[in-house]
A and B are shown apart, each in its own frame.
Chain A
Amino acid sequence: MAQVKLTNVKKVYQGGTVAVQNFNLDIADKEFIVFVGPSGCGKSTTLRMVAGLEDISGGTIEIDGEVVNDLQPKDRHISMVFQNYALYPHLTVFENIAFPLRLQKNPKMSQDEIYERVTSAAQVLGITQYLTRKPKALSGGQRQRVAIGRAMVKDCKVFLMDEPLSNLDTKLRNQMRAEIILLRKRINTTFIYVTHDQTEAMTLGDRIVCMKEGGYVMQIGTPSELFDWPASKFVAEFVGAPMMNMVKCDLIKEGKKYFVNPFGYKLPVDGEKLALLNSRNVEAQPIYLGVRPEHVTLVREKKGASFPVTIEVNEMMGSEYHLHVVTEDGTKLIVRIPTINLSEEERTKMVSGEVINIAFEGKAMHFFSQATEYNLLIDNQYLADKEPLNNSPVKEEAEEEIHQEESSEEVKEE
């Protein structure tokens, strides 16, 4: 149980490659933080710096108020689960889990207590019957449980997990993800979790740190903040599956009214987004219009604010259709339609070559400047070229109200 504070943490490798740029983050006691981003974004490097497995090139890392920059991993009171499990192959499952306990000195742990702790951890993880086996006689999921067991028997202040589920198949990954949520309730300590999978990030994290290649922090916020108020085009496209549609067009300002003109159609902006544009007095400019696939609606009868598109690929996912469509001017979009909203007849028409009419939901549109790729409706403190990064998202009151309403639904969908 501890707070972790990273201040201007930087990692520069020999030869000058910068893996992590000025990383600032305050992690509260018992908070579950997820670092997410594509490979090469420095998320694992940051975690390894917290663990003490990687030297820190600049800045400080504090655990529980103590600067740990020069402390050995064993003196940092951390536990870690590795991506490839890193079990000791010559030891039985019991000895693997007992390994950190046997190494403890002052006071040395008694055999009885070691036995007690190992068996209770094994019980929690459901691996009691495998305690006498060697790791090679276990399946991937069981090995991962042993690795988690080894990390949880020790009293630690911070629990680190480096892509623990990425070696498992989808079904097992979903199952283990749920178990990690339960585990978190049981261990009740500070977690830092690294993943490249946005679904894991959304479902597990209290807050998410979204990073980009080159070690830049793009946004830090709750899952719903990232989903509903992505600070930049990068975050918008990274969070959410399928990816958010991005349409190049213009933001047009006419007095107090704002319009966007995707594919030559003029669509009005309304609701909270309009209020925000007005309150921030956003200039007319070329933008990326972002619309999530689930916010593109099927229009049965052609009306003014809808436009025809041709279906290119139809992915039937069971509960929903993912339609890859192309507009009249050649822009490609993805449309997500729940199967339940379609009649039997309509389903047969969702095939390649068919023309359908779609519309954008006005309240769910996102506006990103073409010049900076940042969200026009958020004060962006994550600009890579601006110093220094600030963690606590400075939001306008209006935004706070809006995402409180919207967020719960979106997260459930995920």
Chain B
Amino acid sequence: MVEKHSMSMSKKRTIGNVFSYIALSLISIIWILPFVFLVLQSFRCESTGVVGYVLPQQWGLDNYIFLFSPDANFLQWYFNTFIIALFVCVLQTAMQFMMAYALSRFRFALRKPLMNVMLVLGMFPGFLTMIVLYQVLKTIGLTGDNAVPGLILVYVASSGMGYYVIKGFLDTLPKSLDEAALVDGATRMQIFVKVILPLCKPILIYTVLTAFMGPWGDFIFAACIALGSQTGMNVAAGLNSWLSAANISSNFTHFCAGGVVVAIPVMVLFLFLQKYYVEGVTGGAVKG
């Protein structure tokens, strides 16, 4: 009797598992299909337009070779994007950390109202300001060919408002660490650099990654501010220009190859940094 009961239990569990795995596999396939398609198309050599089949008839690296040839502006776009992402990554991380540290550790007048205002402001989509920003940047000459510094400015300008996640993390670090360092003779800057930052490794990695990914993959702002200038575009806007009705038949496979090349640095970055993501570093700070 008992055996029968346990048999039916394990049978039920097996059936349940089978169903969940089928569902999960379906979801994974749907999720991964566009990327597989992109990779496959990037190796297609027989034609450069859009075709009605998936597997290339002729395999080769022609599309990649084209990307790095002088005929394409791809390298310029890639370089632009890299410069923008690099600057934004450094500046935005610094700003968010300083903002979060100040809001987590100092008590000053209007601190709470400031946080509330930023929360409300953060609820408006950034695109609402796009037209205004374009006009402002145009006035100071940072659009079109000069879009790179203009874009850096736009991305960095309001970055302090994204301090929430870091503040949440800093709030979990005991205040007595700061106090101990104060008594030990450290200045606030020394505390920030020597005590707090080393403890923030997981959240620092997260911030760096998101700060890099934002401008790296951004299309709307970049396209709007570069406004068609080949030298000012980032890689997303540039690749998009290959998909226009006039260019798509000669550039679709180039676009696919470009997409793969754009994904590579981000993947490398993730693979390299992910082990720090999970690493807890606060053990032993206080009684535990």
Contact = CB atoms under 8 A, between A and B. Distances in A.
Nearest to B195: A88
Contacts of A90: 198-199, 281
Contact of B185 (A85, A100, A137, A143): A100
Given A100-B185, A154-B184, A86 B179 contact: yes
B286 A51 contact: no
B180 A86 contact: yes
Contacts of A82: 176, 179-180
Contact of A80 (B180, B281, B282): B180
**A interface SS class:** loop
Nearest to A88: B195
Contact of A84 (B176, B181, B186): B176
A85 B286 contact: yes
A205 interface: no
Measured as residues with beta carbon below 8 angstroms from the partner, the interface class of chain B is: 20 to 34
Contacts of B180: 80, 82, 86-88, 150
A143 B286 CA distance: 9
A79 interface: yes
Contact of B281 (A74, A89, A137, A138): A89
A234 interface: no
B184 A136 contact: no
Contacts of A89: 199, 281-285
Contacts, number: 84
Given A103-B190, A140-B287, A88 B177 contact: yes
Contacts of A104: 185
A78 B182 CA distance: 11
B281 A86 contact: no
A215 interface: no
A2 B31 CA distance: 71
B177 A167 contact: no
Nearest to A138: B284
Nearest to A104: B185
A67 interface: no
Contacts of A72: 182
Contacts of B282: 89
Contact of A51 (B183, B190, B195): B183
A362 interface: no
Name the residue in A83, A84, A137 with the highest tally of chain B Cβ atoms < 10 Å from its Cβ: A84
Contacts of B214: none
B183 A80 contact: yes
Interface in B41-91: none
A324 interface: no
A253 interface: no
A73 B284 contact: no
A143 B287 CA distance: 8
A134 B181 CA distance: 17
A80 B181 CA distance: 10
A74 B283 contact: no
Given A84-B174, A86-B174, A86-B180, A136 B283 contact: yes
A88 B179 CA distance: 11
A82 B183 CA distance: 11
Contacts of A259: none
Nearest to A153: B184
Interface in B164-209: 174, 176-177, 179-187, 190, 195, 198-199
Given A86-B176, A90-B281, A103 B186 contact: yes
A61 to B, nearest CB: 15
A103 B184 contact: yes
Contact of B186 (A74, A79, A136, A137): A74
Nearest to A103: B185
Nearest to A54: B179
Interface of B: 174, 176-177, 179-187, 190, 195, 198-199, 281-288
Given A87-B180, A154-B185, 6 more contacts: A52-B182, A74-B183, A82-B176, A87-B284, A150-B180, A150-B184
